[in-house]
Amino acid sequence: MAPAVASPPPMRSLSTIAPEIVGRLTCPLCHTVDPTMTSIVLSAGVDWHCSRCGQRWDTMRLAAVAGYAAWLSARTDASDNHAATARGDV
C-alpha cells in the first residue's frame, strides 16, 4: 500500500487576483475588454482571439501596435508644433 501524500495547497487562481493588478486586456482594433485574458497570462506566452472582431493577439502583435501608436503620437506632436510655428502661434 502506498503512503498517503498530502496535496499541495491550491495556488491562487487569476480570478482571485484584483483586476487592477492583473490588467485586463483590450483589443486594440475594436477596444473590447476580454474578461478572461490578463497581462499576466499574455506574458506567459498565451495568445488570444478577440470575442468581438476575431483578431488574434499575442505579445509580438501588441508590441507592434504599441510601437506604432508611439510613433504616430510623436509624428502628430511634431506636425502640430510645425503648423503652430508656421502660423506664428508659438
Domain-wise residue ranges, the chain: 23-87
Q: Can you give the pLDDT at residue 87?
A: 60
Residue with the bigger pLDDT between 46 and 17: it is: 46
Q: Is the pTM of this model over 0.75?
A: no
Q: In this structure, what is the dihedral angle of CA atoms 20, 23, 28, 34, given to the nearest 10 degrees?
A: -90
pLDDT tens-digit series, residues 32-70? 998 888 888 888 888 989 999 999 999 999 999 999 999
| DSSP characters over 10-72 | PPPPGGGS-HHHH-EEE-TTT--EEEEEEHHHHHTT--EE-TTT--EE-HHHHHHHHHHHHHH
Q: Can you give the pLDDT at residue 78?
A: 72
Cell of 87: 502660423
Q: Please name every residue paired with 56 in a beta bridge, in sequence order, or none if there are none.
A: 49
74 vs 32: CA distance, rounded Å: 26
